Structure 1
Amino acid sequence: MDQEVKKREFPEFNFPDGELLLVNKPYRWTSFDVVSKIRNAFKPLKLKVGHAGTLDPLATGLLIICTGKLTKKIDEFQAQEKEYTGTMVVGSTTPSYDLETEVDATYETSHLSEEMILEACKPFIGDISQFPPPHSAVKVEGERLYHKARRGEAVELRPRAITISAFEITRIALPEIEFRVVCSKGTYIRSLVHDFGKSLNCGAYLSRLRRTRSGEFRCDHAYEVMELVRHIRELKEKESTNMIAE
């Protein structure tokens, strides 16, 4: 006999005064898609809704959403340390450094050993410089890089100072390598994987990425997008019913 699914217990939200909502971003949704879906749930009430720390469409996991007056603290939340788990594929590269584009080159991987792979992580730990991927939301001359990349325009990229606190290999099953990364704001995991593949002389691209933590907040405590949207709509219906009753 199927067990009855327990409904999620929600706290007493005060969205206009400001709420911090932990959301599990779905695969292929943009971060703005999540914000838009939640903002639309409040209509016709016009409420400020924003996110702290963009996730690529092909990434999943923790997205911090702020509402109302708490949107003023977005930069503060965005600056917090992040943690990710992911999978890379070695022996191939793509122009976007992930699955957004097709493989453009393949390389030999027979020279790789477990010891070599584990040792290759060490130079990336600490304060390092990193170039953003050509297919990224970084603005150059007022335009997103991915727009220029899709037109085939060559752009001179500038390195960024970032900090990698931890870079651990958690599973090796070539051509796949699973990993965990703890890093500062502004780190591109796609670039980390790309550079890691170059250091092994075999190329690599990111095939899966999940943000598991941002500061003290963990994805284990996150709401599913539509679960949260349904709850907001239920609250609105309840408020409307109470107003009519009064």
Structure 2
Amino acid sequence: MQKTQKKIPRKPVDGVLLLDKPLGLSSNQALQRIKWLLKAKKAGHTGNLDPLATGVLPLCFGEATKFASQGLDADKTYVTRIQLGETRDTGDAEGEALECFPLPEMNETRLQQLLADFTGPQQQVPPMYSALKHQGRKLYELARAGENVERPPRDIVLHQLKLLEFTPDSLTLEVHCSKGTYIRVLGEDLARALGSGGYLSSLRRIASGAEDASQLVDLPTLEAAFEQQGEAGILAYMRPVDHLVRHLPICQLNEADAEKLLQGQAVKLLDEVAAIGENVRLYASGSDFIGLAQVRSEADKLLLQPLKMRSVAAQG
């Protein structure tokens, strides 16, 4: 008789872990490893990194997943190396070689002008090797099956492209960009503009919104902490639920207004803490974070309209 595998009981874990994603793991694989160690019920991350990439990956647990969009929507900063003279099907070092090209003639003046030309608002066509979906299937699944489908361009902003180093066959850049930017596509486009081909040989995210590489903890450190102290070893690195929204204005509430907002009701804003249309973070009883609201105007009154609220159970 076949034995049924016993399910591991899961428990609520709330907070944000700023992981330095290691090379070779997908963002989800890194997340699932920590989630398994903590036996956490619910977890997510705030912006996918390919297995080739390393760096800033905020992991959200429990109640913090409600506010993960703040990290998903944030600008990102990367350091990347573009290998010139060859294209690959994935646009990075993991792919199969497609075509060889002559190396371009480069000097700093030409490169600085090129980067200036690429800076600013623009549209970018996502790569086939991406997790975006077409008719319910992920693009990278279609790409692996040899299919190529039309992808609508997306609006992005390249805020700054900084030249860090160049050699006869490579460029190393720091890229500050909006959400949704594919650095692999940028690398291919820059190489093409130079009259060559190229792919990413390395990629590291050094900032995501207010989170930067100086705040990170790596996977070996977390696993060692777990070996020594169990779950408490990892929880020592956990940031509070409101960590990703700490840049927003604060609104302190009395008990009655806090209760109404938790029930989905708008309340009158007595003190102007933010402009109309802006989001604020809400605190009750002096220090308890209960969620996010938006300031709106109605009949010459300022109201707080609840957006994302913590569950009542999580407050207790």
Which range, TM-score by smaller chain? 0.7 to 0.9
> Of 86, 90, 100, which aligns to 1:92?
86
Secondary structure at 2:97 match in 1: coil
Query: Where does the alignment leave 5 or more consecutive residues of structure 2 unmatched?
Result: 1-10, 234-316
Tell me whether 1:132 sits opposite 2:122 in the alignment.
no
Aligned-partner Cα distance in 2 for 1:49–1:232 = 18
> Of 34, 44, 48, which aligns to 1:50?
44
- Pairing of 1:13-24 with structure 2 (within 5 A): 16=12, 18-24=14-20
Note the alpha carbon deviations across 1:18-41, whole angstroms, 9 max, x for none: 211110001010001111111111
Tell me whether 1:201 sits opposite 2:195 in the alignment.
yes
How far 1:91 sits from its partner (Å)?
1.7
Aligned-partner Cα distance in 2 for 1:225–1:50 = 16
How far 1:226 sits from its partner (Å)?
3.2
How far 1:122 sits from its partner (Å)?
1.4
Note the alpha carbon deviations across 1:43-65, whole angstroms, 9 max, x for none: 3xx42111100001100111000
Contact kept? 2:104, 2:196, Cα under 8 Å: no
Secondary structure at 1:121 match in 2: helix
Quick check: which one's strand share is greater? 2
Contact kept? 1:125, 1:166, Cα under 8 Å: yes
Paired residues in the alignment total 222
Q: Normalising by structure 2, what TM-score?
A: 0.67
Aligned-partner Cα distance in 2 for 1:164–1:237 = 40
- Pairing of 1:207-226 with structure 2 (within 5 A): 207-226=201-220
Query: Where does the alignment leave 5 or more consecutive residues of structure 1 unmatched?
Result: 1-14, 239-246
Aligned-partner Cα distance in 2 for 1:91–1:140 = 31
> Of 52, 62, 76, which aligns to 2:56?
62
Q: Normalising by structure 1, what TM-score?
A: 0.85
- Pairing of 1:1-246 with structure 2 (within 5 A): 16=12, 18-43=14-39, 46-232=40-226, 234-236=229-231
How far 1:235 sits from its partner (Å)?
4.5
Q: Which AA in structure 2 matches 1:120?
A: L
Secondary structure at 1:172 match in 2: strand
How far 1:106 sits from its partner (Å)?
1.3
Aligned-partner Cα distance in 2 for 1:124–1:237 = 47
How far 1:199 sits from its partner (Å)?
1.1
Q: Which AA in structure 2 matches 1:215?
A: G
Q: Which AA in structure 2 matches 1:25?
A: K
Larger relative CO (CA 8 A, sep 6+): 1 or 2? 1
Aligned-partner Cα distance in 1 for 2:226–2:210 = 25
Q: Which AA in structure 2 matches 1:63?
A: L
Report the RMSD for the aligned CA atoms in angstroms: 1.8
Contact kept? 2:132, 2:138, Cα under 8 Å: yes
Aligned-partner Cα distance in 2 for 1:53–1:236 = 25
Larger radius of gyration: 2
Aligned-partner Cα distance in 2 for 1:221–1:236 = 20
Note the alpha carbon deviations across 1:95-151, whole angstroms, 9 max, x for none: 111112122111122533332222111122111100111111111111111111111
Aligned-partner Cα distance in 2 for 1:237–1:90 = 46
